[in-house]
A and B are shown apart, each in its own frame.
Chain A
Amino acid sequence: MMLNNQQIDHSTGRRHVARAKILTVLTYVALVSIGVIMLIPFLWMVLGSFKTVREVMQFPPTFIPKDPTLANYKEVFSRLPFAHYYLNTIITSVIPTVITVLTASMAGFGFAKYRFAGRNFIFWLILATMMIPYPVTIVPLYVMAYRAGLVNTYTGLIIVSLSSAFGIFMMRQFCLTIPDDLLDAARIDGSSEFGIFFKIITPLTKPALATLTIFTFTGNWNAYMWPLLMVNTDRLRTLSLAIPLFNGQYASFPNLVYAASTMAVLPVILLFVFNQRYFTEGIAMSGLKE
């Protein structure tokens, strides 16, 4: 009786294991095939950047370059002021990022840790304004920038991204978790309010600051619509503007376009790969309900 029972258990257990194995295999098959599809554009771009014009234009296409060359990368730099586009993109990404992280964390701290007249109204106004899609304000925003003489200037490029509602909101949520006692203790020790922000809040919110930095930087690096409006000289062109333009001018040299694109994408991809944790946290955070 005892033995019988055990036997039954054993065989259903084995069937279970077999089923679980099949499921695992199927899961991997699905994960890998979707992964390949997601990767194709990147592989196409990177592999294409090492091909000769002849190879890249032939049909049926090759996937792996037959005789890989680095010549395309060199040629991009000789045909375009590519280093200058890089510099413009770095300037218009780094400056707004530094300012946004500072203004958003300060504001988040202010909203989280002080009671003051108008606090709820202003916070509500920011949340309500988040509902307005960006393109809705683009026409009047351009008019404002045009009136202020900011078209074709670095200031014009930068001025629209000096703060972020997402950043303010995220930093507020983070600051709420910091106990008030900690701040009061610092006050008793004679710290000023700014001292509290820089000596206590900033170190304690480092992970949130890292997330915000990376998100803001990526957003700025990838910006397209506003730079398209602000810039019509080569002097101020960013990578996101230069690549489509280059693609139009060199339509018969996709290998050069691939090399330029690879170089434009590389910084953000490296940033992402080495700081994944912060990306994942930031995204998950944006999806969290209050």
Chain B
Amino acid sequence: MWYKIQRKIAPYVFIFPGVLFYLMVTFIPAIIGVGLSFTNWSIITPKFRWVGLRNYERLLTDDLFKTSLINTFRYAVWLIPGVIIVSLLLALLLNTKVRGITFFRTIYYLPMVTPIAVASVIWMWIYDRRTGILNYIIGLFGLAPRNWLNDIKTALGSIVVMGIWLAVGGNMIIYLAALQGISRSYYEAAEIDGAGYWQRLRFITLPLLKPTTLFIVITTTMGALRAFAQMNIMTQGGPLNSTTTIVFYIFQAAFTDLRMGYAAAMSVVLFLITLVLTFIDWKFLGKGVNYDAE
């Protein structure tokens, strides 16, 4: 009897803490956030009023919100192809019969395990106008030094480069795993048909990597949408808001201006954007992705 009861209860006991701790910090705040977005709460006083859709209406006329969306979009549009190209290239290079794969893989992966706060600080010094190594290197090619993080033209791009550096290692490993999963028989058949390296890459490898690429595009998009630490540490959203991305602005609105309701409304919009973008990625890139292929 006890044995039967135990088997009935056991699964709930097993999943309870994990599920509770997870939903407590994701699902529940998400619901509260939606509620919060209809209020004018400022956290200092417990008092707040329901303001209906006013926060959302205000978003439509908020120029900085528009700017932050455009900046986030620009950040993502540069980051995604950069990450894809470099990580795919590295994976293809490592998927040959070269020696020392483990060694190279270690090096490429190192940025992934580096604390983002520390990485941001180090890159600030690399970009430093006076003593930075980047200005020294471009100086060797006769180019004038720049104030990378303090120039509207280069600030966001500089953060993108660091973003690529950060993300390449992990995605390379994902590509590598996918490459190693491709059956050799495809290549052998193609070789018999006289296909060269580029043809095999173009007609076998790349099409078969499509699901992986889709996955990386989606995760990199998500990563770009939530970029925050770099902006907060390296540029504080400047110069002239040129690196104010959506999460940075949400952070400012909530914790500097204490406009919790307004920040919550922006968070809701960010979530909707994530959904739409994921759907678009899926729709466009997912075409021809066949998950039953194996």
Contacts and interface: CB of A to CB of B under 8 A. Distances in A.
B131 A57 contact: yes
B21 A103 contact: yes
Interface in B205-261: 211-212, 215-216, 222, 225-226, 228-229, 232-233, 247, 250-251, 254-255, 260
Nearest to A116: B11
A268 B115 contact: yes
Nearest 7 pairs of A and B residues by beta carbon? A107-B18, A110-B14, A287-B174, A114-B11, A163-B21, A284-B177, A193-B10
Interface of B: 6-8, 10-15, 17-23, 25-30, 32-33, 36, 41, 43, 86, 89-90, 93-94, 96, 98, 102, 104-111, 113-126, 130-133, 136, 139, 165, 168-170, 173-174, 176-178, 211-212, 215-216, 222, 225-226, 228-229, 232-233, 247, 250-251, 254-255, 260, 263-264, 267-268, 270-271, 274-275, 278, 291
A170 to B, nearest CB: 12
Contact of B270 (A136, A224, A268): A136
Contact of A141 (B19, B25, B174): B25
A19 B251 CA distance: 55
A133 interface: yes
Given A59-B131, A164-B22, A276-B106, 8 more contacts: A27-B93, A30-B89, A103-B21, A114-B14, A125-B27, A136-B33, A139-B267, A254-B131
A30 B25 contact: no
A2 interface: no
B14 A106 contact: yes
Contacts of B20: 163
Given A136-B270, A139-B254, A221-B115, A163 B215 contact: no
A240 interface: yes
Nearest to B125: A254
Given A30-B93, A103-B17, A268 B254 contact: no
A236 interface: no
Contact of B136 (A34, A60, A279): A60
Given A61-B131, A133-B270, A144-B32, A31 B93 contact: yes
Interface in A54-108: 56-61, 99, 102-104, 106-108
Specify the main secondary structure of chain A where it touches its partner.
Answer: helix
Interface of A: 23-24, 27-28, 30-31, 34-35, 37-42, 44-45, 48, 56-61, 99, 102-104, 106-111, 113-114, 116, 119, 122, 125-126, 129, 131-144, 146, 159-165, 167-168, 192-194, 197, 218, 221-222, 224-225, 228-229, 239-241, 243-244, 247, 254, 257-258, 261, 264-265, 268-269, 271-273, 276, 279-280, 283-284, 286-289
B133 A44 contact: yes
A51 to B, nearest CB: 11
B275 A163 contact: no
Nearest to B11: A114
A283 B108 CA distance: 14
Contacts of A243: 115, 117-118, 121
A265 B122 CA distance: 11
Contact of A287 (B215, B255, B274): B215
Given A110-B15, A289-B291, A224 B116 contact: yes
Contacts of A283: 170, 173-174, 177
B172 to A, nearest CB: 9
Contacts of A129: 22-23, 26-27, 30
B65 to A, nearest CB: 15
Given A222-B116, A224-B117, A137 B30 contact: yes
B270 to A, nearest CB: 5
A58 B270 contact: no
B122 A261 contact: yes
A99 B123 CA distance: 34
B33 A139 contact: yes
Contact of A280 (B25, B173, B232): B173
